[in-house]
Amino acid sequence: MDFQYNSTVLIIFDLTSFSMNYRHQIDYILFETWEELEDQDRQLVHAARGTCENAYAPYSKFSVGAAALLSNGDVILGNNQENVAYPSGLCAERVALFYAGANFPKEYVNTLCIVAKGELLPYDQLLSPCGGCRQVMLETENRQHRPMRVVLVSQNMRTIVFHSAADLLPFAFGTNQ
């Protein structure tokens, strides 16, 4: 893993109107390519890439695939499903997490891997989930009372691994942060 970077970003929010300072630390690992990941994570990337091919994205032309590794070893797949009535579609992350919650309520999600392809994002830009998916990921983490690793694989293969979904959504709605 010659190209692994351990990174910590310290974000300082100055909320002077409230006379307080808030510090939020984000820990993640950045890889030049997903091929540097451990075997189990590489298998999740393969699964997410496979289901990405089955996404229904005729409007955005941006296909997303998600693979959720459960505590029992099962892998749940999801891909984005668009609809001409825009709010009726679902993102890949929510498809996978809602399916896991509905069908495996006693299992927790260890890792959620997300991949995407299409022209919506520049080829070399790091992939990032939408705000709604971040909230659902955090709710999943809160419900299971344990962190969920998040693996984001960009189109150019650069990969970022977060140790917790909470790192993706400071000031989340309905949390005790």
Sign, CA dihedral 115-118-119-124, equals positive
| Cα distances (Å, whole numbers) of residue 116 to 87, 120, 126, 133, 159 | 20, 10, 10, 14, 12
Selecting among 93, 107, 119, 139, the annotated active-site residue is: 93
d(Cα 173, Cα 57) in Å, to the nearest integer? 28
Token pair belonging to 3: 């190209």
Tell me whether strands 149-153 and 159-162 are parallel, antiparallel or unpaired.
antiparallel
Q: Is 93 a catalytic residue?
A: yes
d(Cα 175, Cα 24) in Å, to the nearest integer? 14
Hey, which residues are catalytic here? 93
